[in-house]
Amino acid sequence: MTKIEQAFQLFDAYNQQDPSTIMWDGKHYPSEYFYAIQLYEWVKKLNPEASEPLLLASRCQHIGRWEIDRKTYPEGRVGYLTWRNDQSHFHARKATEILQSVGYDADIIARVNEIVLKKRLKTDTEVQTMEDALCLVFLSFQYDDLIKKHAEEKMINILQKTWAKMSEEGRKVALSLSYSDVGQMLLNKALNAAG
């Protein structure tokens, strides 16, 4: 096996430990394993020439996410942002351990960490590709579930924030996706309100 194949195998095995599951096409998958595979697939669609560090980062972006529970942080925006920041650094550390174990050099590991930590979003094209792919995974697989949990105003706000993170190319792809009737209506409202 190549190093990248070994790393993927270890990332996947780790994410397959996620106790929460998602049902897709009649099958149950560990949630973070499922989302990591979808993120990897979106990155390849958005950038067929994706570099090795970008491909590696896509497969470990949220590795072990279930291990740091949001409920252990205070309610509200500050608690949420602290949790997100702690999560990102945890993912980078876990990715580093695995990449070192299969023999990657420090330069590649540092680059994977830059992408995982989303450094220089909007100016680093690979980090932006990752952000676009994350947004597309959300819109493809998590959006409808979130609609059931939140009021219309909150969903419109979430969609506007999602849109703001994406590149023009990412937005074009997002507009080409198939949405539920409610999902399409909310997206239309969010984009019209944003001007």
pLDDT of residue 69 exceeding 90: no
Which residues fall within 8 angstroms of residue 32, CB to CB, at 6 or more apart? 15, 18, 62, 63, 64, 65, 66
53-57, 58-62, 71-75: the lowest-pLDDT one = 71-75
Convert the pLDDT of each residue in 115-131 to its tens digit.
Answer: 999 898 888 999 999 99
| Rounded average pLDDT over 45-58 | 96
**How would residue 151 be classed by pLDDT, with cut points 50, 70 and 90?**
confident
Mean pLDDT of 44-52: 96
What's the average model confidence in pLDDT over 42-58? 96
Each residue of 16-36: pLDDT tens digit? Answer: 999 999 988 899 999 999 999
Domain boundaries, the chain: 1-117, 128-195
Residue 63 pLDDT greater than 80, yes or no: yes
DSSP 64-84: TGGGS-GGGS-SHHHHHHHHH
Count of Cβ atoms closer than 10 Å to residue 59 Cβ: 23
Give the mean model confidence (pLDDT) for residues 136-163. Answer: 90
What is d(CA 138, CA 47) in angstroms, rounded to the nearest whole number?
Answer: 18
Task: Note the pLDDT of residue 145.
Answer: 86
What's the pLDDT band for 108 if we cut at 50, 70, 90? very high
> What is the band of 1 on the pLDDT scale with cuts at 50, 70, 90?
confident
Question: Of 13, 57, 61, 17, nearest to 35 (Cα)?
Answer: 61
Tens digit of each residue's pLDDT (9 = 90 or more) over 153-190 = 888 988 999 999 999 999 999 999 999 999 999 999 89
Kindly indicate the confidence band of residue 193, based on its pLDDT and cuts at 50, 70 and 90. Answer: confident
- For residue 194, name the pLDDT band (cuts at 50, 70, 90): low
126, 51 Cβ separation under 8 angstroms = yes
pLDDT at 133: 96
